[in-house]
Amino acid sequence: MPAAAKRFEVERVQTGVRLERRVLKVLKALAAYKNMTLGDLIEGIVLHAFEGKVAFSAETLRKIAELKGVYELDLDARASHHLKEKS
């Protein structure tokens, strides 16, 4: 039987982060698909990114591509730092 994963006690805070609407829809749908909270999903993505690691398996990347199609998300990494709010 595998050893239990080590748990880390943390203090979480509520925040008011603004995200692009379709990005948020894909993130929420992915969190639901993975049976986790949106906060847990974002924390995992960020912790992987901080170490320069890929946050998702090939299977999950395929699911993300599917969800991007469902929510008409046509943005990719090249759009980062080039997004402008509608007036």
pLDDT at res. 2: 63
pLDDT at res. 4: 75
Question: Structural domain of residue 31, as residue ranges?
Answer: 21-72
Residues 22 and 36: their CA atoms lie apart, in Å, by 19
Q: How many domains does the chain have?
A: 1
The DSSP output letter for 42 is: H
pLDDT, averaged per 10 consecutive residues of the chain (87 residues), comes to 80 94 98 97 98 97 98 96 91
In a domain? residue 85:
no
pLDDT at res. 1: 55
User: Both tokens of residue 49?
Assistant: 């990114």
In a domain? residue 13:
no
Query: Tens digit of pLDDT for each residue in 37-57?
Result: 999 999 999 999 999 999 999
